[in-house]
Amino acid sequence: MHIKEISVDGFKSYASQTIIPGFDPQFNAITGLNGSGKSNILDAICFVLGLSTLSLARVSNLQELIYKQGHAGVSTASVTITFDNTIKDGSPIGFESLDTITVTRQITGGKSKYFLNGHLETNQRIKALFKSVQLNIDNPHFLVQQGKITKVINLRPSELISMLEETAGTSLYNEKRVSSTRTIEKKEEKIREMNELLVKDIEPQIDRLKKDRETFLMWKSIDFELERIQKLLVAADYVSKRESLSAKSNELSLRRTEEQELRRDVDKLRLQIERLDREYEQQRASKDDVQYLEFKKLEEEARTAKQQLTGLEADKKNFAKRLADNEEELAKVNPSEQGTARRWKEKLELIGNYLKKFQETHEEKRRTLDEVNRRGGGASLHGLVKRTERNLSGVMSDIERIEGQIRATEEKLREKKELSETGFREMKGVMEQLTYGRAELDQLEARLASVPGEREFEESDFRSQEATIMEELRVKETEVRGILAHFPKFKLSFADPEPHFDRSRVKGRVFQLFSIPNKKHSTALEWAAGRRRLFSIVVDHQNTSLLLLNRNSFGSRDEEFVPNNKIQGREIPEHSVRMAAQIAESHGGFAIPAQDLIKFDPALRPTMIWAFGGNLICSSAEIAKLVAFNPGVRSRCVTLEGDIIDPNGTLSGGYTNSSSSILAHYADYRTKADELDRLSLELQTVRRELERARGAGNETRELRRMIEEKRQRLVILDERARSANPAKIRETIFDLESTLVELQQQRLQLEDLRKQYEAEMQDLRHSRGDGTQLVDKLQREIAELEDKIRRKKQEAEEVKLEEESALQEAEKARRTFELLQADRKRLQDKIADNLAQVEKARQKFTETEEKRRQAEKNFVALDGRLSKLQEQRAATAKEVEATEKEIKRVETTLTRLNKESKEAQESLDKMELEHPWIEEEQENFGVAGGRFDFEREDIDELRRRVATTRREKENLSKRVNVNSEAMSEKMQREFDELQKRKKILSNDKQQLQDSMTDLEVKRRGDLEKCWKKVNENLGKIFGTLLPSASAKIQPIPGRDITEGLELSVAFNNVWKTSLSELSGGQRSLLALSFILALLQYKPAPFYILDEIDAALDLSHTENIGAMISRHFPQSQFIVISLKEGLYAHANTLFKTSFVNGISRVERFQLKNSAYQTKEARGRRDQLRDKTNEETHT
């Protein structure tokens, strides 16, 4: 990659856009007077490369880079560099496919913008691009300035090794080694502090707290045992009394439930009877009025359509027969009679021509005879000879013309006879093709007629339906997205925690897993469960919840998971539910367990009991208070308005805003989501029908196309049949034979005339002196001509009669042919109209017959439904009567049981008031293996142990430390944490020491490799700049390479002991050689040398140009110099000037670059590959 062109606009001294084109791929020089703007070109290149250290551009802020700091009407500075990227080996990473790369940097309003190939990019992106090809503007090794050369020659050995390490990239190792050493020291100090803390402070405290904890645990164990015994005794008494109450109230509850169920059954049965009656009346009315009339109407329409179709089919056959008869008549008519009349006319014209010639000859002979008689025989003989010669010449021309016509006619006659031989076979083949083609056309038209006509309109109808559904779908999607924007948790979304995860293991959030049949219960159910539980996520197993939590599949640690296999809830006892229902019914309301008001999957019952269990939904606040505080119920109650009455005495709820109801919003969301799914399915169905309609429409269009092609083919075959008609060919042959005979007769007559003229010429030559003989001869000839004229006139009259007769026959045939053709055209039009009418009638009949059959099915099905409705009503009425008798029996039993259960409840209420914990623990009373397992304990022995255990507790209370357990656990955690941290620090220390050892080995290897390569390059470059001289860089004698390097110079193989022996120019060349040797280790695409020849004489300056060509063929050099000895060796020279306060640039092509020749490019590529190979080895 190298610079191809630079465009500067408003940058420093370049006020307007200045394009610097045609940079040489190898050696470029920039010269000009001081202050003319040559260094500004260098600044422009660095500016595009991402220059951030403005001191390199000799400015303090970005505004100073704009022409006259923006005070001359120029507010923007822009520099664009076009790079040639045709050589892909040195291409930036990711740009190998581009042949040209354009980078622009622009300053506007104190801010920089970068553009890469016209696209806006960041500063980091541009710098990364150039760093990938060794153009790091933050450490610009590719930029060599005069001051840098002066600094290098005065560097100490340690500073020289630093430059080498920077080139080799090992300086980073030194930084990491220093950082690691400091880190190790800090870790050792922390380990020492931890050891001291453990020995002096933590371990003694742990020993003391262990003893206190043992005493506390003993006291706590005695206290726990005393409390357990006391509760167990109270629970045993409570269970005994409750069982006596349960025995009396179980039957009461069962009877009340039975009564309620019976009454509900009666209400349902009566509602069912009313529904059956209404449905029966509606069906019967529909049958009597609408459907019967519709059925009869469709039946009549189908019969009419069938009659119409039958008539049109008969017309079709009749028209086809008439058309066949017409074509048969046309075949019999011979319209060629006109040709016969034409031949008689031509023959008449031919006779007239002969008659005219005979008359002209007769007149000529008469004039000759008169002239001979008037002047004498010898006087006009010469003129007679001349006329006879002219006549003979005309006859010879006519003979030649006639013979040409005879040859042409014979050729045509031969062709027609050949055609006549094949005409019959061709005519037979064409007629067969016509027969088959007409049959195929009839089949295609029949197939087209069988396709329903509405298919042509189905596609547009389905397209319209598709557009309508898509619009509705868009509206629904907007509504659903609006709800999800406020309630994103309505849609359960999570990432699979592991590959092939079964997503059915996640059931959903609680509110998504049930439905509410009666919407008026929504508010009460929401308050009963609480929003936290409603938003909990239900999973199938506790392992699933752990997996989802560990993998953070929901993106939040705040989610609560409910494992359905482990979750437990509190369910209100059956007897309490029955008592609550009885209380509510006595006050005209209801009290129902919350879980009974929802529908859910039975497999999810543990989760629903956990969410809604322990709550009763009551119809009013008064009923809720009566039920909640009733001793036989004492359960949490929720009103329909959302008020919560707790038996512990708390009251919550109050005003509820329906707009904030989660269940109401979710129900709305679910409705819209279901509608969205329905529309999606409907859209899929419509699209399938659309594809089907397209297929049917394509079939119809294809059939019509095939019919049109078949008709065109039949027209062509018909024309071929007419042209290959044997009768017409025979007529043509007859005409040609007649013409040939006539031409042959004309030729014979002309031959006779020729012989006659030749004989006259012969006679005239022999009788030049005898006029009497000539007169006799002329008289004989005149008499013969008169006889010929008479016969030709007679022949002409006969031919004229034949012509008139032929014309009459031709006119008659023409009129007959025209009449038959007109009749055929009318028949064809009628057939086309008939086909359209048949197709339309068949379509109408198909539609009407289908509607009639469907109406008939509906009519029959309606009779069956009416009979079934009557049977269902009779059976339901019998069930109502039986159920009402059972209700009366249950009411009698309830009156007796109410009195017995009231007395048993009062005893339990007293115990619950004295021991509030009974309400929470009573579910565990008598549970086998539990804390209140009465079968496992001896109740009498427990009563004796209570006093002894109480005395033991009082004795230990005097010396127990109740905080010892917590303090001991805290101290042990601190001890374990310190030990863990100590181990981590020791491991980190060892890892750092190992890393330092590895880094040192790698650093030394990279450094030695770089030193050897730079040392080799230094000797070559210095030898080029100073012939017969050599240079090297080597470690200080007796020291390691990492301790420093020093430069040495030899002239004629004699090494100098000190660099102070060198002249100033030699020292500059040595420093320049060292810098270029470093650069050659990792070559950059181009290098910039800024007045490095300032301290050099002319010969040294010239050697720099030779050195660049020899050692850097793969890189582009841009040299800024004031000395002609250097820039004269460049391939391309740019001269800057300063005119009217603005810099200008002129380009001079000094010589063609060797880089541009094929051979030189090969040498350059080989050298570059060798250099790269040595660099990477």
Indicate if the pLDDT at residue 781 is higher than 90: no
Which region among 527-536, 814-823, 1158-1167 has the lowest average model confidence (pLDDT)? 1158-1167
Structure tokens at 619: 């119809």
781 versus 509: the higher-pLDDT residue is 509
In 3D space, the residue among 1151, 1088, 1090, 1150 whose CA is nearest the CA of residue 1115 turns out to be: 1088
pLDDT digits (tens, 9 = 90+) for 295-326: 566 667 767 766 666 766 666 666 566 655 55
Up-side HSE of residue 663: CA atoms within 13 Å toward CB? Answer: 27
Burial class (CB in 10 A: 0-12, 13-18, 19+), 91: buried
Q: Interior CA angle at 235 toward 233 and 238, to 5°?
A: 115
In 3D space, the residue among 430, 462, 964, 417 whose CA is nearest the CA of residue 732 turns out to be: 417
Assign 1056 a pLDDT band (cuts: 50, 70, 90): confident
**Which sign, positive or negative, has the C-alpha torsion 454, 459, 465, 468?**
negative
Dihedral (Cα; 92, 1158, 1081, 1), 10-degree rounding: -20
**Which sign, positive or negative, has the C-alpha torsion 373, 379, 385, 386?**
negative
pLDDT digits (tens, 9 = 90+) for 241-265: 777 777 777 777 777 787 888 888 8
1098 versus 56: the higher-pLDDT residue is 56
- Strand 506-509 to strand 537-539: parallel, antiparallel, or no bridges (unpaired)? antiparallel
699 versus 1034: the higher-pLDDT residue is 1034
- Strand 651-652 to strand 644-645: parallel, antiparallel, or no bridges (unpaired)? antiparallel
Assign 386 a pLDDT band (cuts: 50, 70, 90): low
- Average pLDDT of the segment spanning 693-713: 71
CA–CA gap between residue 430 and residue 428 (Å, rounded): 6
pLDDT digits (tens, 9 = 90+) for 954-984: 777 776 666 666 777 777 777 778 778 778 8
1014 versus 245: the higher-pLDDT residue is 1014
CA–CA gap between residue 883 and residue 262 (Å, rounded): 6
Instruction: Count CB atoms within 10 A of the CB of residue 687.
Output: 14
767 versus 792: the higher-pLDDT residue is 792
CA–CA gap between residue 376 and residue 921 (Å, rounded): 179
CB–CB of 45/55 below 8 Å? no
Which region among 107-111, 113-117, 370-374, 475-479 has the lowest average model confidence (pLDDT)? 370-374
CB–CB of 1094/147 below 8 Å? no
pLDDT at 610: 92
Instruction: Count CB atoms within 10 A of the CB of residue 839.
Output: 18
Up-side HSE of residue 103: CA atoms within 13 Å toward CB? Answer: 26
Query: What pairs with residue 562 in β-bridges?
Result: 538
pLDDT digits (tens, 9 = 90+) for 602-620: 999 999 999 999 899 999 9
Q: What is the 3-state secondary structure (H, E, C) of 600-624?
A: ECHHHHHHHHHHHCCEEEECCHHHH
Which region among 116-130, 331-345, 895-909, 1073-1087 has the lowest average model confidence (pLDDT)? 331-345
Assign 337 a pLDDT band (cuts: 50, 70, 90): very low
Q: String of b and e for 656-666 (b: at least 16 CB within 10 Å)?
A: beeeebbbbbb
Indicate if the pLDDT at residue 424 is higher than 60: no
Assign 266 a pLDDT band (cuts: 50, 70, 90): confident
Assign 1039 a pLDDT band (cuts: 50, 70, 90): confident
In 3D space, the residue among 326, 325, 333, 323 whose CA is nearest the CA of residue 727 turns out to be: 333
Assign 510 a pLDDT band (cuts: 50, 70, 90): very high
Q: Look up tokens 């003229």; give the residue.
A: 757
Q: What is the 3-state secondary structure (H, E, C) of 456-522?
A: HHHHHHHHHHHHHHHHHHHHHHHHHHHHHHHCHHHCCCCCCCCCCCCHHHEEEEHHHCEECCCHHHH
pLDDT at 454: 42
Which region among 398-407, 754-763, 905-914 has the lowest average model confidence (pLDDT)? 754-763
pLDDT at 43: 87
CA–CA gap between residue 915 and residue 235 (Å, rounded): 10
In 3D space, the residue among 213, 223, 218 whose CA is nearest the CA of residue 965 turns out to be: 213
Q: What percent of the chain stands above pLDDT 90?
A: 8
Q: Look up tokens 């005239």; give the residue.
A: 764
CA–CA gap between residue 393 and residue 529 (Å, rounded): 136
The number of residues making up the chain comes to 1177
Indicate if the pLDDT at residue 1177 is higher than 50: no
Instruction: Count CB atoms within 10 A of the CB of residue 591.
Output: 27
In 3D space, the residue among 601, 606, 609, 508 whose CA is nearest the CA of residue 565 turns out to be: 606
Burial class (CB in 10 A: 0-12, 13-18, 19+), 894: middle
CB–CB of 1116/15 below 8 Å? no
Query: What pairs with residue 1049 in β-bridges?
Result: 1031
Q: Rg (Cα) of the chain, in Å, rounded?
A: 62
Measured N-to-C along each axis, helices 939-957 and 203-286 cross at an angle, to the nearest 10 degrees, of: 140
Indicate if the pLDDT at residue 638 is higher than 90: yes
CB–CB of 11/78 below 8 Å? yes
CB–CB of 638/624 below 8 Å? yes
**Which sign, positive or negative, has the C-alpha torsion 139, 144, 150, 153?**
positive
Q: How far apart, in Å, do the first and last CA atoms of the chain sit?
A: 23
Measured N-to-C along each axis, helices 574-586 and 203-286 cross at an angle, to the nearest 10 degrees, of: 50
Indicate if the pLDDT at residue 381 is higher than 50: yes
CA–CA gap between residue 1140 and residue 1142 (Å, rounded): 6
Query: What pairs with residue 645 in β-bridges?
Result: 637, 651
Q: What does residue 177 show for φ and ψ, rounded to 5 degrees?
A: -65, -45
Indicate if the pLDDT at residue 46 is higher than 60: yes
Q: Look up tokens 């002196």; give the residue.
A: 769
Indicate if the pLDDT at residue 269 is higher than 60: yes
Assign 1136 a pLDDT band (cuts: 50, 70, 90): very high
Side chain identity at 629, as an amino acid letter? Answer: F
Q: Look up tokens 């033991």; give the residue.
A: 952
Assign 336 a pLDDT band (cuts: 50, 70, 90): very low
Burial class (CB in 10 A: 0-12, 13-18, 19+), 67: buried
pLDDT at 647: 83
CA–CA gap between residue 207 and residue 187 (Å, rounded): 29
Average pLDDT, the chain: 76
Which region among 389-398, 635-644, 1153-1162 has the lowest average model confidence (pLDDT)? 1153-1162
Q: Which strands, in side-by-side order, build the sheet including 1029-1035?
A: 1029-1035, 1045-1051, 1054-1055
For the ranges 334-338, 663-667, 776-780, the one whose mean pLDDT is highest = 663-667
Q: Dmax over Cα atoms in the chain, in whole Å?
A: 203
- In 587-725, which residue ranges form alpha helices assigned H by DSSP? 605-612, 621-628, 662-723
CA–CA gap between residue 510 and residue 489 (Å, rounded): 11
CB–CB of 842/309 below 8 Å? yes
CB–CB of 128/118 below 8 Å? no
3-state secondary structure of 761: helix
